[in-house]
């Protein structure tokens, strides 16, 4: 039996154990296995005779082929990309705001979710509307922007802060001025292009 294929894991899968028991069934007569049955099945499945004996005795004594080891043993559950997507879509929006929430709701580990996020199976989504900087905050950040080496000219005219580059002119009227109609038409028309 030197030409046996190498198993990739130490534990036999449930499918192989079921196949061993299924192939031994025809050799079972009057409560006993026929002579040489285990050797024949071992040769057919390309596994050792001792493995067949162990699986058969476990099945005969317990009526089950499941591992009796305590803890998390056996083959790990592998979920496909489609299963992960279906599980995450089935979770309501309010229960999947973070990875931890999604993990708790789906029963999928954080590591698995992280791998699928990195591979693009699931995607981050932010539903928050992020407000633009107000003119006062822009003026506060102006020294930082200038010291960072931006080659722009910043000017303040009325309620607008304008940045002029060599190629673009950009200006913004605050959101509230637009909503309440306080922005004058002359200021709104002064922007030649937007970034």
Output the CA–CA distances (angstroms, integers) from residue 20 to 5, 44, 68, 137, 155, in the order listed. 16, 10, 18, 73, 82
Residue 9 or 171, more confident? 9
Residue 130 lies in a domain: no
The model's confidence at residue 154, banded by pLDDT at 50, 70 and 90, is low
67 within domain boundaries? no
Q: What percent of the chain has pLDDT over 70?
A: 63
Give a yes or no: residue 148 inside a domain. Answer: yes
Instruction: Compare 30 and 193 and report the one with higher pLDDT.
Output: 30
Q: How far is CA 150 from the centre of its chain?
A: 38
In a domain, residue 108? The reply is yes
Q: Which residue has the tokens 């190498």?
A: 6
pLDDT for residue 68 is more than 60:
yes
- Look at residue 123 in the predicted model and tell me its pLDDT: 85
How far, in Å, CA of 137 to CA of 143, rounded?
11
Helices and strands counted in the chain (H then E): 9, 5
- As a whole number of angstroms, the distance between CA 175 and CA 102 comes to 34
pLDDT exceeds 50 at position 167: no
pTM score over 0.85: no
Question: Can you point out the beta strands (E) in 90-167?
Answer: 153-157, 160-164
What's the whole-number mean pLDDT along residues 174-178? 45
Q: At residue 178, does pLDDT exceed 70?
A: no
Mean pLDDT, all residues of the chain: 74
Rounded Cα distance between 156 and 142, Å, is: 11
**pLDDT recorded at residue 9:** 58
Pair 103, 87: CB distance under 8 Å: no
Asked if residue 73 is part of any domain, the answer here is no
Q: Is the pLDDT of residue 136 over 70?
A: yes
Q: Average pLDDT in the 1-25 region?
A: 75
Higher pLDDT, 10 or 117: 117
Number of domains making up the chain: 3
pLDDT of residue 93: 83
The domain in which residue 159 lies consists of 135-188
The predicted structure's pLDDT at residue 130: 66
Q: How far apart are the first and last CA of the chain?
A: 72
Q: What CA–CA distance (Å, rounded) separates 106 from 89?
A: 10
Lowest model confidence (mean pLDDT) among 82-86, 97-101, 118-122, 163-167:
163-167
Q: Within a domain: residue 34?
A: yes
115 and 139 in a single domain? The answer is no
Report the distance separating Cα 2 and Cα 47, nearest Å: 10
Task: Classify residue 150: in a domain, yes or no.
Answer: yes
Does residue 45 form part of some domain?
yes
Residue 127 clears pLDDT 70, i.e. is over it: no
Residues 110 and 149 reside in one and the same domain: no
């Amino acid at each position: 039996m030197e030409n046996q294929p190498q198993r990739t894991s130490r534990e036999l899968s449930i499918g192989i154990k079921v196949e061993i028991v299924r192939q031994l069934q025809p050799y079972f007569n009057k409560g006993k296995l026929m002579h040489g049955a285990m050797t024949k099945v071992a040769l057919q499945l390309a596994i050792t005779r001792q493995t067949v004996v162990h699986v058969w005795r476990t099945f005969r004594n317990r009526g089950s082929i499941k591992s009796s080891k305590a803890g998390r043993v056996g083959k790990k559950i592998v979920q496909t990309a489609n299963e992960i997507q279906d599980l995450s879509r089935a979770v309501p929006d309010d229960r999947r705001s973070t990875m931890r929430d999604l993990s708790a709701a789906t029963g999928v580990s954080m590591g698995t979710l992280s791998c699928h996020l990195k591979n693009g199976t699931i995607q981050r989504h932010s539903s928050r509307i992020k407000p633009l900087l107000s003119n006062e905050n822009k003026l506060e950040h102006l020294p930082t922007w200038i010291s960072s080496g931006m080659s722009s000219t910043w000017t303040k005219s009325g309620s607008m802060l304008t940045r002029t580059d060599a190629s673009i002119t950009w200006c913004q009227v605050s959101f509230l001025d637009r909503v309440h109609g306080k922005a004058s038409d002359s200021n709104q028309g002064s922007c030649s292009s937007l970034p």
